[in-house]
Structures are given as structure tokens and as C-alpha cells.
Structure 1
Amino acid sequence: MKRIAQLLLTKAHRRLCSSPSMHPLPKVPELLIFDFDGTIADTFQNGLDILNELAPEFGYRPLFGDDVEAARNMTTRQLMRFLGISLSRLPAISFRGVKLLHSRMHRIHPISGIPAVLHKLRESGFSMGILTSNSEENVTAFLRRHHLEIFSFIRSSSRLFGKAHEINTILRSYSLAPQKVIFIGDETRDIEAAHRSKVPIVAVGWGYNTSEALRAQKPQALVEHPSDLLTLLLEG
């Protein structure tokens, strides 16, 4: 289950975070892999509500008030320590969270501006897929409801820190070199997974983690508004 939801435009706010040890963004990527919650779908408030609903059952600390914004500046592991969630409890919490979210998917809307950007990228010839910690069933229902059935695949990772493995599986399945792919996500753990898989990543500042937290993890690029993706990917 994910964690916490923001925006603004212009190239001045786009941060390129290249490092000699990291591959630059490919000029013509062969595949764009999108995270779902917080990147495409605005699940922040519903996710937060579910997190707090499950707190008494699983014995961890709920998030209220100023703690919510503080949490957005933490990495996923820091947040787990802050809440008192152990790794051994994560699978059960995630399973229950996804099930609860399923009954609320009709309330979930796309991030403002993202549908037009996704359609433009598809019209421009980009191949796109989704890698998510949510369920394939939830994502499929959302895409159908919002006329966003434009992705080549939806791959669900049941493990909170399992995205690197799934990225590698996608690369093998499509016979792609890591340097030819871009991952697009809103959490520090997305950046961590991309780095482990040697796939360039564009972090987005409108989702669960703040731009400051994302920048500290050194993505290849950071964008603040969905339309910045078009500037970055179509204009270079």
C-alpha cells in the first residue's frame, strides 16, 4: 500500500540529477514504465484513510496532522520505522489494504492533467506499461473507467520492495536493455528499484513523496507537473 498527494510547471523547476555512475535518459526510449498510485491515480487520501483504519488491527501508529507532511519527506523504510511497522507484517497489511482499496476504486480519480499527457505520449508512438504495488484488478478497473486502456501491460508486485525484480522481469520479457527504458514514479522506493535495475528514472513531484525527498535519491530527472513529462520526453 502506498502513502501520500501536489504540482507546478516550467523547465526552471525541472531538475536533472545525472551522475557519472548512472545512465542518462535515453533520447528515444523503447518503453515507458509507469508507477500507478500517486503517479497516475490520485489514491493519496484513500490510501491514508486505509492506513489509519488498519492501524489498530496491526498495532502500528496512525498518521494525522503534521505527521502526514513529515511522512512525505521520509523514505519508505524511514516511514515504516516511524509508524512501527515491521517487514514481517508488511505482506498482511498490504494485502488487506489492497482489498479495502478495491471497494473504493470508484472514488479514485486520475492525477489532474495526467490523462491528456498519457494519450499524447501514446499518440506520439511511445510503448507504455504499468508496474504497481496495487492489484491488476484495481488498476484495470480504473483504466477502463477513465478511458485509459492504452498500456501494453499491467504488472503487479505484491512485495513493497519487489519492483526491482519486476523491472528485470519486464526487461527480459521484452528483450530490452535497461538503458532503453524509463521508469516513471513518485516514491523514493521507485528510485531505489530503478537504480538497482540500472533503469533511468523520472521522478514526479505530485505524488506521495515530496520533491525534496525524491531529489535526495538522485533520479535522472524530476518533474513537477504532468505536462513537464511531455517537455522532457518529446522536446528533450
Structure 2
Amino acid sequence: MSNKTVIFDFDGTIANTFGTTIKIYNKIAPKYRCKIAKEEDLKKLRANKPQELLKSYNITKFKLPFLLLHIRKELRKEINNIKPISGIIKALRKIKAAGFNLGVMTSNSKKNVQIFADLNGLNGIFDFIYSGRNLFGKEKVINKLLKIHKIKKNSAIYIGDETRDIEASKKVGIQIIAVSWGMNTKEILASLQPDTITDKPENLLKCIQEL
């Protein structure tokens, strides 16, 4: 049994929520007087940091928490239709079988993650599911998770698909594996120098073991 704890981001890393989230955003954007995300904008979305995109979509710091809460509420209605990233279920089982502790840290609701886990045969895979939100202070959420679950920084590995996952992990002082199948492109993720980066879920166990 390893003393390492592998903490997974949920949206975009385990669950393929990108398309559904964009659809929900476009549905509710007029209510918040925000710009609609067009098909041609999606590449730009993936190739930029979230901080750089908010202004162009007229999403102010005041609007942001209300917008995120609304998206989260709508996402709950769609959770039965959300599919796992191809290959991630098998990868999670392999990592668990190798003796690592597994957890999820998400800005989604804990209930949504539990429903998703139940629907996809992941009962008993995760040692914990932690729900916390702080869009530009993700390091605060990570620190709180580590404290609550009594995880030492040198025994934690974070796995995420966004630039802010890398930035937050570096600020906290934990190892970070970036995955290129989610929100951000491999190029922008690599520019922030994560400990390692992978394109395929089946490579995750090897990446973890080599850290």
C-alpha cells in the first residue's frame, strides 16, 4: 500500500463535461449579459488561461460566482448524460489496484460526483470527494483539502486539465500531472512546466510511479 494520495480534478479530467458546460453557459449567458461562446471560440478557450477570457466574455468578478452556481445547478440535471473520458475508468482502477489512495477535488457538487461514480461503476474507488470553489485561489482549496484529510504535501499528487491546476499545485508545493484531454491544450499546459504531462489516461499509472 502506497502512502501517496492521488487527487483528481473532476470536470475535464475524469468526466467529459466541456461540451455540456458550454451548452449550459450559452443557454444562461443572456441572463447575465455575457457573450455567447461560438464554435470558432472553442479553440481560443482551450489555448488561454481563464483569467484572460473573462473580460472578453463580459464576465465580471461580481457575476462570476452567480454564473458558476447556475451552471452547477444546470449540470446536475445533465449528470446522467455525462460520459467519462475514454479510458479513465480503467486507469482509475489500475491506480487504485496499485495501492494508491485516490481522491477527487472539484468545484462541481459532491452529489454530482457521487452520482457519476455510481453510474460508472466507481463505487469504492475514491477515498474522498472534496467540493470547494475559489476560481482564482485554487491553492486555498487544495490547502484546505490537505488539512482536512491530513495529507502531507510530499505525499500528494494532483492530476488536472487546466493551467490553474498547475499554478495552484506549484503554489502549494505538491506534484502535478497535467492531462491534455480536457480544458487546456498541451502547449499552454507545457508552458507552465508541470512535473509531467500526458495525452492518454492509460499512461497515468506510469506517470505517477515515475514521480
TM-score, normalising length: structure 1: 0.84
Contact 2:13 2:161 in 1 (8 A): yes
User: How far apart in 2 are the matches of 1:175 and 1:41?
Assistant: 26
Give the corresponding residue for 2:61.
Answer: 87
User: How far apart in 2 are the matches of 1:179 and 1:195?
Assistant: 12
Contact 2:133 2:141 in 1 (8 A): no
Task: Report the Cα offset of residue 225 of structure 1.
Answer: 0.6
Structure 1 residues 192 and 29: alpha-carbon distance in aligned structure 2, compared to 1, 3 A threshold: farther
Q: Does 1:100 align with 2:74?
A: yes
Q: Does 1:72 align with 2:46?
A: yes
Runs of 4+ in 1 over 4 A off after TM superposition: none
User: How far apart in 2 are the matches of 1:182 and 1:127?
Assistant: 10
Structure 1 residues 196 and 235: alpha-carbon distance in aligned structure 2, compared to 1, 3 A threshold: closer
Structure 2 portions without partners, runs of 5+: none
Task: Report the Cα offset of residue 29 of structure 1.
Answer: 5.9
Q: Which protein, 1 or 2, shows the higher relative CO under an 8 Å CA cutoff with sep ≥ 6?
A: 1
Q: Deviations over 1:168-212 (max 9, x none)?
A: 122223333212210000011111211121111100000011111
Contact 2:134 2:140 in 1 (8 A): no
- Secondary structure of 2:62's aligned partner: helix
- Secondary structure of 1:103's aligned partner: helix
Contact 1:131 1:163 in 2 (8 A): no
Give the corresponding residue for 1:19.
Answer: none
Q: Does 1:191 align with 2:166?
A: yes
Q: Which amino acid aligns with 1:165?
A: K
Structure 1 portions without partners, runs of 5+: 1-27
User: How far apart in 2 are the matches of 1:160 and 1:176?
Assistant: 22
Give the corresponding residue for 1:164.
Answer: 139
Contact 2:177 2:195 in 1 (8 A): yes
Give the corresponding residue for 1:230.
Answer: 205
User: How far apart in 2 are the matches of 1:217 and 1:79?
Assistant: 18
Contact 1:130 1:154 in 2 (8 A): yes
User: How many corresponding residue pairs?
Assistant: 209
Give the corresponding residue for 1:134.
Answer: 108
Task: Report the Cα offset of residue 93 of structure 1.
Answer: 0.3
Task: Report the Cα offset of residue 234 of structure 1.
Answer: 3.7
Task: Report the Cα offset of residue 217 of structure 1.
Answer: 1.8
User: How far apart in 1 are the matches of 2:210 and 2:194?
Assistant: 19
| Equivalent of 1:148 in 116, 122, 127 | 122
* CA root-mean-square deviation: 1.4
Contact 2:134 2:141 in 1 (8 A): no
Name the % identity: 38
Q: Does 1:207 align with 2:182?
A: yes
Contact 1:29 1:182 in 2 (8 A): no
User: How far apart in 2 are the matches of 1:217 and 1:208?
Assistant: 15
Contact 1:50 1:101 in 2 (8 A): yes
Q: Deviations over 1:206-236 (max 9, x none)?
A: 0011111111222111111101112212466
Give the corresponding residue for 1:23.
Answer: none
Higher helix share: 2
TM-score, normalising length: structure 2: 0.94
User: How far apart in 2 are the matches of 1:119 and 1:191?
Assistant: 24
